[in-house]
Amino acid sequence: MKKLRTGMALAATATFALTLAACSGGDSNEGASGDAGGDEPMGNSLTVWAWDPAFNIYALQEAEKVYQAEHPDFTLDIQEVTWEDLQTKLTTLAQSQEFEELPDIFLMQNNAFQKNVINYPDLFTDITDSSVAFDEFPEGVTAYSTIDGANYGVPFDAGTAINAMRTDILEEAGLTLDDFTDITWDEYIALGEQVLEATGKPMLSGIAGEPDTILMMLQSAGQSLFDDEGNPTITDNEALSTSIELYSEMVEKGIYLEVNSWDEYIASIVNGNVASTINGVWISGSIQTAEDQAGMWGVTNLPSVDVDGATHFSANGGSSWAVSSNADVALAEDFLSATFAGSTELYDTILPGAGAVANWLPAGDSEVYAEPQEFFGGQAIYADVLSFAAGVPSNNTGAYYYEARDAVGAAITQIMGGADAATALGEAQSTVEFAMN
């Protein structure tokens, strides 16, 4: 999962409809979900849409090698499509009924899975009766891609959040990783001011107007944007209000650097412009592209929000593989079953290389999780991440998660511009309620 940005512009769908290139790996499976040629003989090529070369695409490249060990003629046509473009393409194809333009497999943000299947069922294949052992994944994770008891996705990565820190920068300020472990956000801000004064570097960075940091704070406090009945809880939400106040304070004090794009965010990390980043563990794949920083990073837990029920653990992201209605279904199911739902070898490879902490439970028994990671100063960070994952509070997202996320992002932009917080959050609540009704 990477990046939970939507901002999907429906006005752009006509352009995408004209520009999408035919990219399906199979031509024998047309039509609606669940009907797509499950009895057809398997071919030897699949097309996949995914984003993030350092994480998802790297994982696909390694999965191709694993599958080729038993199927030497197999090829995987991996097409890099950003999450925003992928969502827009799916919407365009659903509206135009041009299912032949779909790939065999595409990656889907977990938080967007249910809404896409509900709104565009003709894009998906029901894979409940495939050889994938869905009981080998946590029930809470498979729930993202389960609709009316049917499975539409194979879970991939966990979004467990980490506080990844440049230990060399901390040392310049007379601090260590331990100073940032099991602390509150108020303590974090005080330490961040110390780092900024000593080194001139902010602690964190993030894309302006996007609420990832705040939503991680919110979940760490055991709260969500929705209650158990699916009603939005944007107003009268103490944890959300407190998180926004903390975020605003960090920006105002210069210890949180707001940037304009994902590329600028990654650059701020790998170019050493900030002292740390807090994000899903998948961010470790991007961090490790800065090979000259090997040994200069460490990982600890998150600061806690000062509200009842607060923890030091959260999550951001996580994704699952979907089989399209235009797929070579038999081959797609077999590939996913043999790799992302069946290969410890695959996860042993992509864990240290990209930080791909598996949702597939048998992968968690691997000794690789306990191995020291040279890039992270010899710390066995993935064993730590597994312990973090056990403490992550549940997060009720529902079908309208992205509407709520975007509304909160807009409210934060208004608040940072000087608007009254209660008024901005009230408008966000009304926006989501309107969308739901």
Rounded CA separation 71/67 (Å): 6
Same fold, 10-158+318-365 and 161-314: yes
pLDDT at 201 > cutoff 80: yes
The kind and range of the H/E element at 113 are helix 110-119
Domain boundaries of the chain, sorted by first residue = 10-158+318-365, 161-314
CA-CA distances (angstroms) from residue 425 to 398, 400, 407, 409?
19, 16, 8, 10
Rounded CA separation 397/315 (Å): 12
pLDDT in tens, 208-251: 999 999 999 999 999 999 998 889 999 999 999 999 999 999 99
What is the C-alpha R_g of the chain? 21
For residue 64 the two structure tokens come to: 């191709």
What is the per-residue pLDDT for 92? 96
pLDDT at 23 > cutoff 60: no
What is the per-residue pLDDT for 354? 86
Q: With bands split at pLDDT 50, 70 and 90, how would you rate the model's confidence at 28?
A: very low
The whole-model pTM stands at: 0.79
pLDDT in tens, 287-346: 999 999 999 999 999 999 999 999 999 999 889 999 999 999 999 999 999 999 999 999
pLDDT at 143 > cutoff 90: no
Total count of residues recorded for the chain: 437
Could you tell me which residue, 62 or 111, shows the higher pLDDT?
A: 62
Taking all residues of the chain, what is their mean pLDDT, rounded to a whole number? Answer: 89
Closest listed residue to residue 240, CA positions, set 111, 399, 424, 113: 424
**E-state strands within 81-145:** 105-109
CATH architecture for the domain at 10-158+318-365: 3-Layer(aba) Sandwich (3.40)
Could you tell me which residue, 26 or 169, shows the higher pLDDT?
A: 169
pLDDT at 6 > cutoff 80: no
Question: Of 46-50, 68-72, 174-178, 364-368, where does mean pLDDT reach its minimum?
Answer: 364-368
What is the per-residue pLDDT for 29? 37
For residue 223 the two structure tokens come to: 């709260």
Burial 254-293 (b: 16+ CB within 10 A, else e): ebbbbbeebebbbebbbebebbbbbbbbbbbbbbbebeeb
What is the per-residue pLDDT for 22? 34
Question: Of 60-69, 190-199, 394-403, where does mean pLDDT reach its minimum?
Answer: 394-403
Is 8 strand, coil or helix? coil
Rounded CA separation 157/149 (Å): 22
pLDDT at 18 > cutoff 50: no
The whole-number average pLDDT for the span 256-262 is: 96
User: What's phi and psi for 73, nearest 5 deg?
Assistant: -90, 0
CATH architecture for the domain at 161-314: 3-Layer(aba) Sandwich (3.40)
